[in-house]
Amino acid sequence: MSDTDFLIAGGGYSGVLTAKLLRDNGINATVFDSKCEGGELGVFKKLPDLREYYAEYIEEYDELTKEITIHKGTVLGDVLVMVGRVKKYHSELLICTGCFDNQPFNCNILGSRPAGIFSLQTALKLISMGFTIGKKVLVVGDDPVLEIVERLMYRRGYEILLMRGKEVFVEGRERVEKVRVDGEYFNCDTLIYFCGRSEFNPFDLNGIKLGNINAKTYDYRKVRKDTVRGIKDLII
């Protein structure tokens, strides 16, 4: 580890792509990830329609991980915690920790907070883990990926409706019972929302940010573009 020039936090698509692009330029980099589950693409891979939609990136990721090893460890500031030991590092840090979906309040979702409200990200992960997240699902948001999600969930037997809306109000005590979107009521037991993403950097790591932490999107073309451009800037 001491002979590495760069430490990459995050072993998802942009982390691994970063390591590969650096290696192509003769620069050593070591990738660390807390969970080693293949990042977000690891979730998409388990869901047929999304697997197809993201096929290009999933295949690329699988190819890349054949040559690039992802080590299990969490980067906390200037310290790296690996299962088994804690180590100080002295390499340059590249941050490829991706993003998370904005939360209900930031998406103008008010009302009560019963069970059955999911961000797109958590809904997809739960489904990929084999959980059923409800029966009658209302999806509120505006993004091309939502149409794929709609098809995916429809095929899995969910009753699903996709809506755009600005103001959302949830009713229900134990579980979602009704959702009001811009004044119109929908009876449903589940709400999935999407209104953009924010950078995931809970330890406020200092370093160069690459990939989805900047792009904040479900559009992996943009993730790829940001990573490639970032590396270009870095090498110059």
Partner 1 sequence: MKDYDVAVIGAGVIGCFIAKELSKYDLKVVVLEREPSVGMGPTKGCSGIIHPFQLPFNSLKGKLCLEGNKMMDDEAKELGFKFKRVGLILIARNRISNIIIRLIKFYFSRYLRVEYLPRSKIISMEPNVTEEVCGGLFFPDAGVVNPVEMTFRARRFAELNGVEFRFEREVTGIERERDFFKITSETDGRETITSRYVINCAGLYADEIAGMIGDFSFKIEPGKGAHVIFDDRDFTYHIMAAIPLKPDRKTKGGGALVTIDGNIIWGPSLVDASDKEDRSVNVEDVKRLIEKHSKVFKEMPKKPIAVYSGVRAMAGKDFIINSPVKNFINVAGIQSPGLTAAPAIAKLVLRILRNSGLELKNKPYKSDAKKDVNIFKKVIFTGEREIPYFIEDELVCHCNLVTFQEINDTIDDGASTFDEIKHLTGCSMGCRKCMPDVIEIMHKRGLKLRKDFKNSYIVWK
Where along the sequence are the contacts to partner 1 (CB under 8 A)? Answer: 34-35, 74, 76-77, 79, 81, 83-86, 88, 100-101, 103-106, 110-116, 119, 121-122, 125-126, 129-134, 167, 169-171, 173-175, 198, 200, 202-203
DSSP code of residue 102: P
Give the C-alpha distances (Å, rounded to integers) separating 187 from 103, 105, 128, 181. 22, 21, 25, 11
Q: Which is nearer to partner 1, 20 or 45 (CB)?
A: 45
> Look-up: residue for tokens 């590495």?
4
**Nearest approach, Cβ of residue 207 and partner 1 (Å):** 16
Q: Which is nearer to partner 1, 122 or 217 (CB)?
A: 122
**Nearest approach, Cβ of residue 206 and partner 1 (Å):** 14
**What dihedral angle (degrees, nearest 10) is formed by the CA atoms of 12, 17, 23, 25?**
-150
**Nearest approach, Cβ of residue 111 and partner 1 (Å):** 5
**Nearest approach, Cβ of residue 74 and partner 1 (Å):** 6
> 208-211 long-range CB contacts below 8 Å, 24 or more apart?
208/92, 208/93, 208/94, 208/95, 208/234, 209/94, 209/95, 209/96, 210/14, 210/18, 210/94, 210/95, 210/96, 211/10, 211/12, 211/13, 211/14, 211/15, 211/17, 211/18, 211/96, 211/98
Q: Which is nearer to partner 1, 40 or 150 (CB)?
A: 40
**Nearest approach, Cβ of residue 66 and partner 1 (Å):** 25
**Nearest approach, Cβ of residue 144 and partner 1 (Å):** 22
Q: Which is nearer to partner 1, 129 or 236 (CB)?
A: 129
Q: Which is nearer to partner 1, 4 or 108 (CB)?
A: 108
d(C-alpha 224, C-alpha 47), whole Å: 21
Q: Which is nearer to partner 1, 26 or 84 (CB)?
A: 84
SS3 65: helix
